[in-house]
Chain A
């Protein structure tokens, strides 16, 4: 059966254009892209999706999620996380290795892929740990994990404190063509902190995490990228200083890419006043000056990727004293509207927004996606950029509800997600299936 996606504005982040084009999808592939109104052949075997007034975009690619399986299935499973992903417009998710046990060997990598296949929703790409047990001592078997399906390595949740080991990890990862993703935190400097160190932490009496604890490690990873020549990707950039370091590294021609997350351009440390643990995240919410610097970094293209750092937690980890509560917030079902808000604000255009949500992360991980072209994979989403609404706790498909954006006015949402030509989810109320 063929599918005709009709009347939408087609966003192509690869070429940076928006065109009024129809798509014909056949056998999982984009068979034709035609100017609007030129396709007439509406046979009985043709399913029609009415995308008029909507945008047809490459399926979103989130290169930083925590799916919690194996080990913490009460927070999220690969199936529920993938469901939250496709509802949010994502077709591909790269999951971080800090599960229990961590993804530090091929058998865990294979398990993750098997669970993803069973779920049959988003494509899932495992990221392997850099050291065995994420303990920072011994390198994991990169080659073995790569063969099993891992696309990158990261110690996410922790930093590799030993610089010599990190150097070797970069050198070795290059041989296996694995993307190295760096969680940047000098954990001695951040120890004991539960929010950004600044005027607000002083005011409300919470131990602080200085920006320097992130920036020291960003600088180290840049220095090691220079030393080893290995491309490195800096995860969840939150400070102005980090953006400046990465800008300089890029000007020097170093192979450094980076990501930020929506909470770092929508919230600042003032949100923590009141001790609401939904706002506790690592790295912490920074100052309004940092928020502006993140937006500038996104606008200039210094920040390549918007990832969610989707981090589900149950009330058992969150309904606690602030310093005892877990860090992290869910993000798969709010990242799209929060990014579109920047389009409205004029930070970047629609095509640039999609570049950071799909094209760039695909390229950095070396996985398919991020493009809409004839002969290419039909991974796409149909989004209504104007729809205004607010999320309630029960609206989330993620097993956990720890979103700081509950109740906040949002604009723009996903109405349909197609993966490999198959419609894996569509919004009942969108009435786009004819």
Chain B
């Protein structure tokens, strides 16, 4: 019996290779539920899940909601505008109040790196990090790993390029940790203003020129350019970024013939990815979204579905 011995999912770093394989395998079997006529099983009946989103999110939040409902959990949604945090309550006070209502799991999205770690220390409910600041977005990385494995049959030995703002991307950080852990070779690319100090320590290759970075790759992962950051000094203009780093057909040509193109969404068409690539035959962007539900169902099941081992970490 394979066991998932974690109270929380705060980051990919805490997971072993076996843990990741267990999550992906579980997701694979749960994925079938979403293609049935009646897309609901009673597995988490009587369990309650709080979705606490301190930052705007459409995809991730909906994905978690759908995942919880397909497993019959009761869900409550809190966002910053509806919570007392808008009234000046601290995060710790808010989650102590949530904890007092005894939920089984809290899904937290927060603009501060480390916020889920703070919350996890405070509550007995399980905590899933749904994205914290520029730190991690572990469920995104897991659904990306799932999508890669689904298309390529494996992860080990694959060559993956990640293009974009590596410094400020929690998706990049989680994927780098997850992909290298699972034996993929990762190349990161982007202007030096978007490259964090000491990125090589993650065991990845930094290659600023995207043309070189995508050469011979099995997977190209494009990161969303946060247009709201434009006022800062990271890049001069969207136009120039798109010209040098936007993934277009010319760049995709350099990769392997059976390359898959991924994007965590929401996409800025014509900025980090050209419309023809986003909608083209190599794109698995919508598969990522479908798989997101399966992976989140797997995590809910493994964390609060009763198979959790007594001796938690």
Our verdict on whether A and B bind, yes or no, reads yes
Q: Which A residues contact B (CB, under 8 angstroms)?
A: 197-199, 201-208, 274-275, 316, 319-324
List the interface of chain B (C-beta within 8 A of A): 90-92, 110, 112-115, 117-118, 132-136, 170, 173, 196-199, 201-202
**When the two chains form their complex, are residues B112 and A322 in contact, meaning their CB atoms are under 8 A apart?**
yes
Complex CA distance for A431 and B248, rounded to whole angstroms = 80
Q: Which single member of A198, A205, A208, A274 contacts B132 (CB below 8 Å)?
A: A205
Chain A residue contacts of B197, Cβ below 8 A: 197-199, 201-202, 208
* Complex: chain A residue closest to B168, CB-CB: A207
A205 touching B136, Cβ below 8 Å: yes
Contact: A321 with B134, CB < 8 Å?
Answer: no
B112 to A324, Cβ gap below 8 A? yes
Chain A residues with Cβ under 8 A from B92's Cβ?
Answer: 319-320
Chain B residues contacting A201 (CB-CB under 8 Å) are 196-197
B133: chain A residues within 8 A (beta carbon): 205-206, 323
Contact indicator A202/B135 (Cβ below 8 Å): no
Among A204, A205, A206: residue with most chain B CB under 10 A: A205
Which one of A201, A202, A203 has the greatest number of beta carbons of chain B within 10 Å?
A202
Given known contacts A205-B132, A320-B91, A323-B112, is B198 in contact with A275 (CB within 8 Å)?
no
Closest chain B residue to A200 by CB distance? B198
Known contacts A198-B197, A201-B197, A205-B133; A275 and B91 CB within 8 A of each other: no
Least Cβ–Cβ distance between A132 and chain B, in angstroms:
30
Which residues of the partner chain B approach A321 to less than 8 Å between Cβ atoms? Answer: 91, 110, 112, 114-115, 118
Query: How far is it, in angstroms, between the C-alpha of A9 and the C-alpha of B92 when the chains are bound?
Result: 50
- With A203-B202, A205-B136 given, name 7 new contacts (CB 8 A): A197-B197, A205-B133, A275-B118, A319-B90, A320-B118, A321-B110, A321-B118
A331 to chain B, nearest CB (A): 24
With contacts A201-B197, A208-B197 taken as known, whether A320 is within 8 angstroms of B90 at the C-beta atoms is yes
B188 → chain A, closest Cβ, in Å? 11
Instruction: Tell me, rounded to whole Å, the shortest Cβ–Cβ distance linking B200 to chain A.
Output: 9
Q: Is the pair B112, A205 in contact by a Cβ cutoff of 8 Å?
A: no
B136 x A202 contact (CB < 8 A)? no
Q: Is the CB of A205 within 8 A of B91?
A: no
Look across to chain A and name the residue whose beta carbon is closest to the beta carbon of B169: A205
**A199 B135 Cβ-Cβ under 8 A:** no
Contacts of B114 in A (CB 8 A): 204-206, 275, 321-322
A139 to B123, CA, bound (A): 50
Q: Which residue of chain B lies nearest to A320 when distances are taken between CB atoms in the complex?
A: B90
Question: B199 to chain A: closest CB distance in Å?
Answer: 6
Nearest 9 interchain pairs by C-beta: A205-B135, A275-B114, A321-B112, A199-B198, A202-B196, A205-B113, A322-B114, A321-B115, A205-B134
**B12 → A minimal CB distance (Å):** 12
How far does the alpha carbon of A401 sit from the alpha carbon of B182 in the complex, in Å?
Answer: 43
CB <8 Å contact, A206 and B113 = yes
- A204 touching B135 in the complex, CB below 8 Å, given contacts A321-B115, A322-B112, A322-B114: yes
Q: Closest residue to A319 on the B side, CB-wise?
A: B92
Minimum CB–CB distance from B241 to chain A (whole Å) comes to 21
Chain B residue contacts of A320, Cβ below 8 A: 90-92, 118
**Chain B, residue nearest A205 (CB):** B135
Name the B residues within 8 Å of A198 (CB-CB). 197-198
In the bound complex, how far is the Cα of B113 from the Cα of A204, in angstroms?
8
A197 CA to B115 CA, complexed, in Å: 19
Smallest CB-CB separation from B110: which chain A residue? A321
Q: Which of B91, B118, B199 has the most CB of A within 10 A?
A: B118
Which residues on the B side are within 8 Å of A207 (C-beta)? 113, 134
What is the distance, in angstroms, from A332's C-beta to the closest C-beta of chain B? 27
- B113 A275 Cβ-Cβ under 8 A: yes
Q: Can you report 16 A-B residue pairs in the complex whose CB atoms are below 8 A from each other?
A: A197-B197, A198-B197, A198-B198, A202-B199, A202-B201, A204-B135, A205-B113, A205-B135, A206-B133, A316-B90, A320-B91, A320-B118, A321-B114, A321-B115, A322-B115, A324-B112
**Residue of A198, A204, A206, A207 with most chain B CB atoms under a 10 A cut-off:** A204
Q: Could you tell me the distance between the alpha carbons of A375 and B201 in the complex, rounded to whole angstroms?
A: 60
Between A197, A199, A206, A275, the greatest number of chain B beta carbons within 10 A of the residue's beta carbon is seen for A275
Residues of B within 8 Å of A202, CB to CB, are 196-199, 201-202
Q: Is the CB of B201 within 8 A of A274?
A: no
Nearest CB in chain B to that of A324: its residue:
B112
Complex contacts, B173 vs chain A, CB 8 Å: 205
Partner of A199 from B91, B117, B201 at Cβ < 8 Å: B201
B118 cross-chain contacts in A, Cβ below 8 A: 275, 320-322
A275 with B117: in contact, given A320-B91, A323-B112, A323-B133 (CB under 8 Å)? Answer: yes
| A179 and B202 alpha carbons, distance in the complex (Å) | 46
- In the bound complex, residues from chain A placing their C-beta under 8 Å from that of B91 are 320-321
| Chain B residues within an 8 Å CB radius of A204 | 113-114, 135
| Residue in A closest to B233 when the chains form the complex, CB atoms | A188
Q: How close is B248's CB to chain A, nearest CB, in angstroms? A: 29
- Chain B residue nearest in CB terms to A210: B197
Contacts of B170 in A (CB 8 A): 205
Taking CB atoms, residues of chain B closer than 8 Å to A275 are: 113-114, 117-118
CB-CB < 8 A to B201: which residues of A? 199, 202-203
For B113, what are the chain A residues with a Cβ–Cβ distance below 8 Å? 204-207, 275, 322-323
